[in-house]
Amino acid sequence: MSHVLILRAPGTNCDQETAYAFRLAGAKSVEILHINRILETPTILDRANILCIPGGFSFGDDIAAGKIFALKIKNHLADTFRRFCDADKLILGICNGFQVLLKSGLLFEEDADGSIATLTWNRSARYTDCWVRLRTEKSNAIFLRGIESMYLPIAHAEGRFVFRENAAQHLQQLALRYDSEENPNGSMLNVAGVCDISGRIFGLMPHPERYLDSTQHPHWTRKITSNGCNHPSSGDGLAIFQNAVSYFQ
């Protein structure tokens, strides 16, 4: 049985939609909690086997997107989060949640100079809101099992993925990419999502919780996709949540 804990902070605005996505995917229980509750009582995490940090503008994106939220985890909850994942549990970060996971050091091992990767301002230096085509890469990412491609919306200003050094040794962690012709933010290697080495921690910039039903597709009234196929009954994003839930069945 899957028990989901959605972690929010001041400025988070996609928590309800994400909770709905997990319920739709068949989660046994879904709970939304403020980060302060976890800081006060870290053992609350023990009652969940899926942890999700949803999208939004946590702490107003002060300093940088997701930075303050990430520092709270890194400075006070790093061991708690690591034990959570080592217990064969799952962590998902969407948009702002991806920024939090990356900047807290949960996705890549840090060296003496800190994290080898980050998410920074879009190459356009502007907020971008559009739909993008995505393709998956060979990886251990549990959330992407059985998925080859997706069409999802993005909405961010700081979504450009950049590496500090050669990425060759981490290629299997670069689990999700924008189609090369549709890279909306200038991300290196067209990266849209990353998993940790175990595949149990996954972060992505697109919003799967915003495409759960066929009527959320921008062309849904035409009844066909851009490939000329009839719309499925569910949206592409639902499979990510279903993969997480089914992992515990």
Of 14, 156, 158, 207, the active-site residue reads 207
Q: Which long-range contacts (CB under 8 A, 24 or more apart) does 226-234 make?
A: 226/151
Among this protein's residues, is 14 annotated catalytic? no
For residues 194 and 203, the answer to whether their CB atoms sit within 8 Å is yes
The first and second tokens of residue 115, run together, are: 């994290």
231 belongs to the catalytic site? no
CA gap 23, 45 in Å, rounded: 19
Planar angle of CA 32, 17, 231, nearest 5 degrees = 150
Write down the residue that tokens 């049985």 correspond to.
1
Gap between the Cα atoms of 166 and 235, Å rounded: 35
Is 229 noted as a catalytic residue in this protein? no
Of 113, 214, 204, 88, the residue nearest 156 (C-alpha): 204
Q: Exactly one of 95, 156, 195, 217 is catalytic; which is it?
A: 95
Residue positions annotated with a catalytic role? 95, 207, 209
